Each structure stands twice: as C-alpha cells, then as structure tokens.
Structure 1
Amino acid sequence: MNRAKKEEAKKLREAYESMSPEELEEFERRRRIKSLAEQIHSELFPEEYDFMMDSIADAKDRRRGINPMSDEYTAKVNARRKELGVSPLGDNGMPTDNSSWDVAHAEAIRRLK
C-alpha cells in the first residue's frame, strides 16, 4: 500500500469513529454512489479519458485547441453523447462541462435504489 492510500485509509477510519450510525449510513451510501458513478462514467464516456494516452505531440495539439482524434470518431462520439443528453466534446476533444458526470451520477442513484 502506498503512502497516499495509507493516508486515505487513516482519514476514513477517523471519519468512521466520529460519526453516528445515521451519519455513517449516509456516508457509506454516498461513497457507493460516487464509486458506481465513476465506473459508469468510464464505461459510458471513454472518450473523456482518451487524453491519458496522448503522445507528446497530441498533448501539445490539445493545448493549442486542436483535436488529435479523427473527425469520424469525434462525430460518432458526439452523436452518441447527444443521444444521452450530454454536450458534445470541445474543439480540443475535451468535455466542455460536467453534464456527462451528471448523467453518470443519476444512473448510479437509479441503480442503487
């Protein structure tokens, strides 16, 4: 376990100790929703993680506002995003707002009910 994970676990233990049973239940519910929303977001919107695999040249292009993804791929992705009620990707291939996270969060809540 690395240092960051140890610190996170320590903070979590401290938080658990200071909570009432009702607070603890609500805290756990929110953690489950957040975790599921992250999973749903990565499944529904993988294009928002494409930048992680950018080469140095692609990263420079994105900073300049140039989308390194192909036009066909971008059009296909933006059509799917429109169907889901999410704003299209910006000119640099990055999301322009948090609407995809809103969709993922709403789906997580729906699945956990």
Structure 2
Amino acid sequence: MIIDNVTLKDFCEIYNLERRSFKKDSFSKDLIFNLIKTNTYFFKLIDDELSNSIIGFIIIIQDREDRLNLINFLIRKGERKRGYGSFLLKYTLKKVIALDKIKTIVLNVN
C-alpha cells in the first residue's frame, strides 16, 4: 500500500470513484477539480506502484487557522473491510497532528 498526494493526473479516477460510491450525493466535477488544485490534504491510497490503481482517498480542508475539516473519505467497494480505511486515516491524522497550530479536526458525514 502506498499513500501519496492526489494530483490533477488522478482527476478522472477520483471523480469516477466519487460518482460510483456516492451517486447523487457525490461532489461535482468542478469541486473535485478545485480541491485537487488547492488542497494540501488530499491523499490517495494506491495498491502498488505498478498498477497505480486508486483504492481510496481522503480530503481534509483547513476552514479556520486552528481547525481542519474532514469532508470526504472513500474506500473503493470491494476493497473495504481490509484495514485500508484505517491505514489511510491513521496516516492522514499523523500528518495533520504534526501541524502545531491545529487544535480541532471536524468530521462531516451524510
């Protein structure tokens, strides 16, 4: 398992995962595109370097100087219940906890 930053090269695959998983509640193309361009906490989980297939992703935005907001978290259907979500979440939390100024992380869910 490899975790890396999402880039514009990942846009189509991320958007398709989003649409398949969340259907009518999915983020729009424009929103995903803008989040990729502007968000430093948009990580993808890929199975290995050879296939580079995205298993899941997580998006966290900074909405205040001392607060982050987890706005999207997805593991591809068929890959769930294997610990991938925990792996991605732990990695992400470790990254953001290292930021001294962050005091709160908010989870948004539907």
Quick check: TM above 0.5?
A: no
Q: Taking CA–CA contacts closer than 8 Å with sequence separation of 6 or more, which of the two structures ends up with the larger relative contact order?
A: 1
Select the structure that is richer in helix: 1
> TM-score, normalised on structure 2?
0.25
TM-score (normalised: structure 1) = 0.24
